[in-house]
Every structure is written in C-alpha cells, then in structure tokens.
C-alpha cells in the first residue's frame, strides 16, 4: 500500500507537468506563476497545496448514513459466517461489531482480512467461530475523527497497512471509511484543482 500511495503522488506530478506544458503552449509568461502553485507534493508538505479543505466528515456526508456500509454492524455473538455473508451482500469489506447486550456498545470491527488470516489460513470453521473471537477489539483500533484531513487519513492507512478505519468523535463511533473512499476523495480534489488551474489559464477568472 505504501508503494500505491507514492505512485498516487507521482501521478500528481504527471498532472503538474501536463499543466505546465499547457501553460507554455498558451502563455509562457504565466509559467512562473503556475509553477510556484504546483510545486512537487510530498507527504510532509501535502497540506500546503490546496487539498486541505476535504475532511473525513465530507466523505461521511457524501456517503450518507447507511450508505456503503458506514453503519452496517454485527454482534460479538454472531458467527463469522454470518458476518462475511453480510459483507458480501452489502459489498463492503468491514463491519462494526457491537456487544451482545441491550446497550449495543461498540466492541470493535471485523474485516475481510480478519476472515482470511484468522479463519481461512488457520483452517477454522466460520460457522462455529464467533465474531468476538477474531475481531479487532475497540482498544486496539486505529481511528480518525470527522475533522481529520483526508490526506492525513490516507497516509495513516498507508503507514499502518489498513484498509478500513473507524471515525470517532467525543460521543463514540460515527462511521467508517475505506481506503477506496479516501482515494476517491483525493482524486476528486486533484480533478478540481486541475479544473481551477485550467480556468485560470483560459482566463476564466
């Protein structure tokens, strides 16, 4: 995944070079202005280059409650088989796990990776194993907040090699995002940035 993140940033440099080439063709005098706006982006300086406006909250709002598995859940007493069946039916890769009591407090998450590593590889039965036996427990979760910047979340997921990350606020879990959600948001930001620059080049503003 680390290589994928670096590849994505390299793709951003390809876009940059294409825009600068366009500038040279349209108006060479604009090149110093646009070039300074499109300095090479690295993870350490990523927030300096116009992508800081999108947060995890924006992703959750776009998905909507219940959409794309944001609010899908199972209990600690459910079988792994039923949890995986729910993931498959809803086309998601992870479920929030709640405790099997009246309060339904958050207990952790179960992911497709948990299923592969702790059931398939170990030769265990998914129909006789409880979700609570293989889930990632709440106190071990790597989380973000609604205010976390999207690129910060992307870097965190890349560094920790995880594909799903719970979103927590002061009241508890408010949703979950996947690496796919994050990548789509960053791609959209790239596209909008290029469109703004193109409008500038064409004297759109």
CATH number at residue 189: 3.10.580.10
- Has residue 58 been placed in a domain? no
Phi/psi class of residue 85: alpha, beta or left (left: φ > 0; alpha: ψ in -120 to 50)?
alpha
- Has residue 182 been placed in a domain? yes
- Has residue 195 been placed in a domain? yes
- Has residue 133 been placed in a domain? yes
pLDDT of amino acid 203: 59
The residue range of the domain holding 111 is: 68-140
- Has residue 152 been placed in a domain? yes
The number of folded domains in the chain is 2
Q: Are residues 81 and 92 in the same domain?
A: yes
Which of 91, 122, 121, 93 is CA-nearest to residue 109? 93
Cα 204 from Cα 70, distance rounded (Å): 38
On whether the pTM is more than 0.75, the answer is no
Q: Are residues 104 and 118 in the same domain?
A: yes
pLDDT of amino acid 64: 67
Partners of 144 in the β-ladder = 167
Partners of 180 in the β-ladder = none
Mean pLDDT in consecutive groups of 10 residues from the start of the chain, 205 residues? 53 50 45 40 42 81 59 89 94 88 82 94 96 92 91 90 87 83 82 69 59
What are the tokens at 12?
């951003």
Cα 110 from Cα 100, distance rounded (Å): 15
């Amino acid at each position: 995944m680390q290589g994928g993140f670096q590849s994505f940033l390299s793709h951003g440099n390809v876009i940059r070079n294409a825009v600068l080439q366009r500038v040279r063709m349209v108006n060479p005098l604009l090149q110093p202005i646009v070039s300074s706006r499109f300095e090479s982006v690295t993870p350490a300086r990523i927030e300096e280059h116009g992508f800081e406006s999108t947060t995890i909250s924006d992703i959750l709002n776009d998905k909507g409650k219940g959409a794309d598995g944001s609010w899908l859940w199972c209990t600690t007493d459910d079988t792994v088989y039923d949890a995986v069946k729910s993931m498959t039916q809803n086309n998601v890769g992870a479920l929030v796990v709640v405790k099997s009591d009246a309060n339904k407090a958050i207990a952790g998450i179960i992911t497709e990776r948990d299923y592969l590593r702790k059931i398939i590889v170990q030769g265990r039965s998914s129909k006789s194993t409880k979700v609570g036996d293989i889930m990632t427990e709440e106190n071990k979760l790597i989380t973000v907040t609604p205010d976390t910047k999207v690129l910060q979340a992307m870097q965190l997921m890349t560094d920790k090699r995880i594909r799903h990350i719970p979103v927590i606020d002061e009241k508890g879990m408010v949703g979950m995002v996947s690496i796919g959600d994050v990548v789509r948001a960053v791609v959209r930001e790239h596209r909008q940035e290029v469109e703004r620059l193109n409008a500038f080049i064409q004297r759109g503003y």
